[in-house]
Chain A
Amino acid sequence: MANPLKCDLCSKPATVHLTQIVNNKVHKVDLCEECAQAKGVTDPSGFSLADLLLKASLNPEPAAASGLRCESCGFTQNDFKKHGRFGCPACYETFIGIVEPMLDGMHKGTVHTGKVPQRALTRKNLSDRLSKLELDLTAAIKSERYEDAARCRDEINQVKQSISHAPSR
């Protein structure tokens, strides 16, 4: 492409090209990623159209799978097809349906059995413990077991303290 389309709003290179038919009139809009986001073109309900259009322009065959999109980084299924890499760690939650079938042929197993980063684990254990205690506290208050409630409250304070004392950068 010698002359890439420019965003209608800010003249950066346009990556989102939206066509809408309103009252039998065709409206075409070319937007850059930022403007598209700002204008809400990329919100889940409005995005499917843009995503489909985007796909059609990059991939001649109609995409069978739904156009998944990572909420944290905006990475799409189509981007994965193009790059073979993901956009951010959260993509693995969004695209787990695509990743899981791939793992079998790719690796020896499908579940991690190696090293676990201790700090991440501690953080997770503490936050799990905290949510459980908060549930206990609510239950105790509800059933008027005030001694239990007091104990939960003390423990919650303790856990909160260890979270804030956990090694940080």
Chain B
Amino acid sequence: MTIASLIDTPSELTDSASSKTAIVLMTRIRLARNLASTPFPGWAKPAQRAEVFERCRDAVAATAPMKRNLAIGVQELSELEKQILVERHLISRELSGSRAGSGFVINRDQTFSVMINEEDHLRIQVLRAGFQLRKAWNAINDLDSALEEKLDYAFSPSLGYLTACPTNLGTAMRASAMMHLPALVISSQMEKVVRAVNQLGMVVRGLFGEGSDASGSIFQISNQTTLGESEEDILKRLGSVLNSIVEHELNARQKLLEADAGKLFDKIGRAYGILQNSHLLSSGEAMNLLSLVRLGIDLTLFPEESRSIVDRLFIETQPGHLQHAQKGEFEAGQRDLLRAGRLRAEFANFARPNFTLPAGGSN
């Protein structure tokens, strides 16, 4: 398939919203793999990189889950196309800035993406909507085993899968969950959570990974270490950390409602008003407003059907997607105008909030 048709195909990330994805929006697992006796991408000569790219691309594209796919080198894509894939978490920023000989294979529904010649020869990724560590692991484990039939992996019995950076040795697995934690942010508890999570050997990052801010109250939580523990153990540990964060978020929501429901409803109501009427919205502000409306959906102030619209807009109001929809390239200031216009249109027909919580509710 082509990049244009991939971008226009409904994806796991933009089209799977349900109440099951309320707090954990999506689960991702990635495995780093390298070919035996072959220099790592950062040290390989251009001819070696090209050879590795072709070998890996053909092997990946031939596996069952990748049957319908886009397999392409990064240098064949425009900046905007690469940005869209980064916004969908399908490729990394690092890969999008790579030199020739790097590329990827992405399947049609965008649940699998395999980056080739990023930091390692292969970065295999699976992405599932909702809290799905177990399913995601089974899926990526199968793909990895299928690839191993065709490619000779660099592996040491004591150090595990050999990776360019020693921080990824062992399982070379990074499992992460994207979480929406507005109540923890509103009640200023995020710092405490981050510290506790760090102590448990997990890392908290913003929406777009290292160094990105946490606009929209969306965070990524992942394991930090990869050696000395089996995949199962890492996933079990991460799973229990995620469960306890979910619990804390739910408690924080309850407390906010008990302490001053009016204050919380005011925030949500104002967010709705701004989304309906504003004319200039930066991507950060739009994310924060959408986050409040999303919280309103969780609290049943808005109908559940509205969730898929909000989740789609989280992605589609990002700069790359916005420019793609408008078929052009625009300055940041113009983008803010376009973004607000887009949101006004979406929210013109968006169900109004109903601030009476159901009987037996928490008020």
Would you call A88 and B43 a contact (CB within 8 A)? yes
Q: Complex Cα distance A84/B164, Å? A: 9
CA distance A110 to B157 in the complex (A): 11
State the majority secondary structure of interface residues on B: loop
Q: Residue-by-residue, is A34-75 near B (CB-CB < 8 Å gives 1, otherwise 0)?
A: 000000000000000000000000000000000000001101
B230 partner, pick from A84, A107, A114, beta carbons under 8 A: A114
Cβ of B42 < 8 Å from any Cβ of A?
A: yes
A169 CB-CB contact with B under 8 Å: yes
Q: Is the interface of A mostly helix, strand, loop or mixed?
A: loop
Which chain B residues numbered 162 to 176 have a C-beta less than 8 Å away from chain A? 162, 164-167, 169-171, 173
**A119 adjacent to B149 (CB under 8 Å):** yes
Do A75 and B229 form a contact, CB below 8 Å, given A107-B169, A112-B169, A120-B152?
no
B161-193 Cβ-contact flags toward A at 8 Å (1 or 0): 110111101110100000000000000000000
For the complex, is B240 an interface residue (Cβ under 8 Å from A)? no
- Number of chain A residues whose Cβ lies closer than 8 Å to a Cβ of chain B: 33
CB distance A120 to B40 under 8 Å? no
Q: Does A108 contact B (CB under 8 A)?
A: yes
Q: B228 at the A/B interface (Cβ < 8 Å)?
A: yes
- Residues on B lying within 8 angstroms of A by beta carbon are 34, 36-40, 42-43, 59, 119, 141, 144-145, 148-162, 164-167, 169-171, 173, 201, 225-231, 233-234
* 25 A-B residue pairs with CB within 8 Å: A83-B42, A86-B43, A86-B165, A86-B166, A87-B40, A88-B43, A89-B40, A92-B159, A107-B225, A110-B227, A111-B227, A112-B160, A112-B169, A112-B227, A113-B170, A113-B228, A113-B230, A114-B160, A114-B170, A114-B173, A115-B171, A117-B153, A119-B148, A119-B152, A167-B149
